[in-house]
């Protein structure tokens, strides 16, 4: 059980007086101290208590401090170990530090310095603990299938997903590139009764036209040159689960006709075969096109549109759900900090830039910008300098080294502005600049102004 303290510290030393003195000093500094006089009892404490740091003697009867250090490295490598010994040697110190000991003191230590080192050790341990907690939290949220939102538009989408998640009806997800259409499709699948079955995603825009049919329906051995064995298509792979046709508007008309037949009959024929294979799947499609306009232009079948558009979900652009930006930024920063083992916050200036940016690439662009910033950040904050070119307003850009105007250039510009403002009247220009007419003429000559 953890109580309010600066941390839980285990002291291991075979000298009772040494343990007593150090325990009193650390307890006065609000540490919760556990004591052991040998390695065996120290290991038992370590296995029962939530220890944040260990201070151990090196030379002890039986198993020594180095043996205990090796045990910690093998079983709890994130616990920092500080050595404290009266029998220090260069060899033992080098061995301890090269094996990732946190620090090495010779008795009697400088207790103020020891407390400072211990404070850093406990802080490091707590940061690692927080990172690990975030890792577990993220992995428990379906990894890449998470959607962060609290705006009214997104809440309505979540309500629609909840209503139709267990239906067999087809769903069409519409929205601009980068808005998270595939995340919506995955959320539909993984929150449904089909979640234990496959989720098969097909990017219709990325597969060459001559290969898309064989990808969807599969083929028999010898169906064409290079078909050296039978291959199961995506519809069969999705048996009992969900097939997601991303950018379905990219399919050519002949393939649209075949897809319509599959949706009507729930049967497919592999290329090179005349045998029908029953398929059981739930179809979710997406598009960034206006399919009604595509129908009018003759590029998309109207009957197929009605088949795939039983339920339509339209995902708003990021600029239409700006209230979600702080939440998205916070979650993406956490996610990439975990990957990079960092702890970062975002400055108010950066949040202002994010709020006012048009985000043509939507959530995907925001996520990429955050990833870049986390990777580049060296301190504890994400600042304007970590953003890509084009994000920082001109007036907020840091001035590059060597780009400052010289005093002579500033003076020249001031004189020119004064002359222009007063239509070449030198007396008035000199007066507004706060110098005499004689001085003004002298500056004109020196600066070679005619």
- For the beta carbon of residue 439, count every other beta carbon within 10 angstroms: 12
- For the beta carbon of residue 446, count every other beta carbon within 10 angstroms: 11
Tokens at 331, concatenated: 């979650």
The pLDDT assigned to 92 comes to 63
Q: Has residue 141 got a pLDDT over 60?
A: no
Between CA 26 and CA 20 the distance in angstroms is 10
Band (155; pLDDT cuts 50, 70, 90):
confident
The 10s digit of each residue's pLDDT in 339-374 is 888 889 999 999 999 998 999 999 999 999 999 999
The pLDDT assigned to 102 comes to 87
Tell which CATH classification among 1.10.3470, 1.20.1050, 1.10.110, 1.10.10 matches the domain 407-446.
Answer: 1.10.10
Contacts of residue 64, defined as CB under 8 A and 6 or more positions apart, other chains included, come to 39, 58
The 10s digit of each residue's pLDDT in 277-336 is 999 999 999 999 999 999 999 999 999 999 999 999 999 999 999 989 998 999 899 889
Which residue matches tokens 């029908």?
276
Q: Has residue 134 got a pLDDT over 70?
A: no
Between CA 191 and CA 187 the distance in angstroms is 6
- Taking the domains of the chain in order of start, what are their residue ranges? 8-139, 147-316, 319-396, 407-446
Q: Do domains 8-139 and 147-316 have the same CATH topology?
A: yes
The pLDDT assigned to 124 comes to 82
Q: Has residue 1 got a pLDDT over 50?
A: no
Tokens at 258, concatenated: 């075949």
What pTM value is reported for the model? 0.57
Q: Has residue 261 got a pLDDT over 90?
A: yes
Band (173; pLDDT cuts 50, 70, 90):
very high
Between CA 346 and CA 336 the distance in angstroms is 13
Q: Has residue 170 got a pLDDT over 80?
A: yes
Q: Has residue 80 got a pLDDT over 80?
A: yes
- What CATH superfamily is the domain 8-139? Response regulator (3.40.50.2300)
Least confident of 5-9, 48-52, 349-353, 418-422: 418-422
For the domain made up of 147-316, the CATH class stated in words is alpha beta
Q: Look at residues 367, 333, 365 and name the one whose alpha carbon lies nearest to residue 347.
A: 333
Q: Are 318 and 366 in contact (CB under 8 A)?
A: yes
Q: Has residue 62 got a pLDDT over 90?
A: no
Least confident of 22-26, 87-91, 135-139, 182-186: 135-139
The pLDDT assigned to 139 comes to 45
Tokens at 417, concatenated: 């502005």
Q: Has residue 131 got a pLDDT over 70?
A: no
For the domain made up of 319-396, the CATH class stated in words is mainly alpha
The pLDDT assigned to 397 comes to 52
Q: 396 or 429: which carries more pLDDT confidence? A: 429
Where do runs of H (alpha helix) occur along 12-82? 16-28, 39-48, 65-75
- CA 267 to chain centroid, in Å, comes to 41
């Amino acid at each position: 059980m953890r109580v309010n303290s600066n941390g839980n510290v285990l002291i291991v030393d075979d000298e009772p007086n040494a343990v007593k003195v150090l325990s009193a000093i650390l307890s006065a500094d609000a540490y919760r101290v556990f004591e052991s006089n040998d390695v065996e009892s120290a290991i038992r404490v370590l296995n029962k208590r939530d220890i944040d740091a260990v201070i151990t003697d090196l030379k002890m009867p039986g198993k020594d401090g180095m043996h205990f250090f090796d045990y910690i490295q093998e079983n709890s490598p994130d616990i920092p170990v500080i050595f404290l010994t009266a029998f220090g040697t260069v060899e033992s110190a080098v061995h301890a530090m090269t094996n990732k000991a946190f620090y090495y003191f010779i008795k009697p230590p400088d207790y103020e310095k020891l407390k400072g080192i211990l404070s850093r050790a406990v802080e490091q341990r707590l940061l690692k603990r927080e990172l690990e907690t975030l890792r577990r939290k993220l992995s428990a949220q379906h990894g890449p299938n998470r959607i962060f939102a609290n705006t009214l538009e997104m809440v309505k989408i979540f309500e629609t997903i909840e209503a139709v998640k267990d239906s067999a009806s087809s769903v069409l997800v519409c929205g601009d590139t980068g808005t998270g259409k595939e995340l919506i499709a995955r959320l539909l699948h993984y929150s449904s009764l089909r979640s234990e079955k496959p989720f098969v995603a097909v990017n219709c825009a990325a597969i060459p036209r001559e290969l898309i049919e064989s990808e969807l329906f599969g083929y028999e051995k010898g169906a064409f040159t290079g078909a050296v064995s039978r291959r199961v298509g995506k519809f069969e792979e999705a048996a009992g689960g969900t097939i997601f046709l991303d950018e379905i508007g990219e399919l050519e008309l002949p393939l649209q006709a075949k897809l319509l037949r599959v949706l009507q009959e729930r049967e497919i024929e592999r290329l090179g075969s005349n045998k029908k294979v029953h398929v059981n799947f739930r179809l979710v499609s997406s598009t960034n096109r206006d399919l009604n306009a595509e129908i009018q232009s003759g590029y998309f079948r109207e009957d197929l549109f009605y088949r795939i558009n039983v339920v339509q979900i339209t995902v708003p652009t990021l600029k239409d759900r700006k209230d979600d930006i702080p939440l998205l930024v916070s979650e993406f920063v956490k996610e990439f900090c975990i990957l990079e083992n960092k702890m970062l916050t975002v400055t108010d200036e950066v949040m202002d830039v994010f709020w006012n940016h048009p985000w043509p690439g939507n959530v995907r662009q925001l996520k990429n910008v955050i990833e870049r910033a986390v990777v580049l950040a060296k301190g504890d904050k994400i600042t304007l300098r970590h953003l890509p070119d084009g994000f920082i307003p001109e007036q907020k850009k840091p001035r590059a080294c060597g780009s400052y105007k010289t005093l002579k250039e500033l003076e020249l510009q001031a004189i020119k502005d004064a002359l222009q403002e007063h239509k070449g009247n030198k007396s008035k220009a000199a007066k507004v600049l706060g110098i005499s007419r004689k001085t003004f003429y002298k500056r004109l000559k020196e600066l070679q102004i005619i």
